[in-house]
Amino acid sequence: MKLPRTCFLRPGEAIGLVSSLAQASFLLLLARNMALAALHLSVPGSAVVHPLDAVTITGINGSSVQVRDGEGQVYWRAPASGEATFTAGGALGQQTVEALDAQGGVMASLHFTLDAASGIDDRGGRFHSLFQMAAKTMLGEHRDGVGEITWRGHTFHYFEPWILDHSHTMKGMQYLSAVAAEMVDLSAAAQKENGMIWSFAFPDEGPAHGYHYWAYKDQGYAKVDGGVLFARQPVENHNESNFVDALYLAWKANGDDRWMVSHLDAARNALEYSVTDPARWSQRFSLLKRGYTIDSWDFQPSDKYLVNFPLANANRSTRNALSSPSSSATIPPMLTRAGSWRRCCSTPAAPPMPPSTESGRARSAAGWTP
């Protein structure tokens, strides 16, 4: 009811006016409640909606209906009708269906969750079974394929406590788990001042500390900090490239540019360490170096089965790390030495190295020079 700028009402008329306004408000509230009661979603399969699912809305009252994604953006709108179907999409999370009146006001709304799960559904199920088998191998010994360690009051999750194993496992697990970035966070936070990345992080065993502590602490390759044993297998020269790979893969999975940029200094320092530390870098061949070993363990038996071949895997790994967007196209101003790093590791393969005649844990990379 629109009143003139100045008006005079008798007492009875004033009471009638208040009564009419109250009645209108009540009717509007009743209409909204009826719209809310009528609005309903039909979700295929389960209460959680997946991207590209067809979702049907029924009982739509009002002028139109729209859907907002997990970031509040409207990605679907249609005129009101008894029933309407839309294709779920937009940002994951809690999404909202809204019934609107002619002025665009929200008459009723309801929420549903949009979540995505990796998988393959094919006719006959051949590749579905293959995907399930591959996923099972990555879940490993941990629940859901994820372990955890607490350091300085913060719990970090990982696929494996070794940066090498974590970085390789996350090539698959990035599609199954949301915690890929946390091992990168831990490795960056615990990184040595010279740029070195630790091989692993284990819960400390207390006063005994364990083998790695006593074997490597005097060379600067082990420390206990905040209840965690950090150690570097002295012979390993791939941890830094594994760290950069893990940073790139985690960024691909979470799409968080700010998070990725926060670790660029750690990535730059890690690669700088690889090509400057005498335990990792051969001035003679301009290549990363390491002792000839079984896996990453610092021993090599000499017997009739010993095969003499060049070990250039770490140089390939470092070249791959340098070619990822984390260290080149995405952030060239931040990694100013990327070009020289590539030149340092551009030789196709290292010359053959003489096999060791030593056995036992008697040699570290720090004492070996080509």
* Predicted pLDDT at 319: 63
DSSP string, 162-186: BHHHHHHHHHHHTTT-S-HHHHHHH
pLDDT, residue 366, reads: 35
Please give the structure tokens belonging to residue 336.
Answer: 């100013």
Could you count the other beta carbons within 10 Å of the beta carbon of residue 297?
11
All domains of the chain, ordered by start, with CATH?
Answer: 11-114 (2.60.40.10), 143-367 (no CATH)
The SS3 assignment for 83 reads strand
**Sheet of 83-87, strands arranged across:** 40-42, 54-58, 83-87
Other C-beta atoms lying within 10 Å of the C-beta of residue 239: 26
Q: SS in 3 state form for 290-321?
A: CCCCECCECCCCCCCCCCCCCCCHHHHHHHHH
Taking the chain (370 residues) in runs of 10, the rounded mean pLDDT of each run is: 38 37 40 53 71 89 92 95 91 93 90 90 94 87 84 95 94 91 98 97 90 91 96 92 95 92 96 92 87 64 58 58 53 44 48 36 34
- At residue 144, the pLDDT reads 85
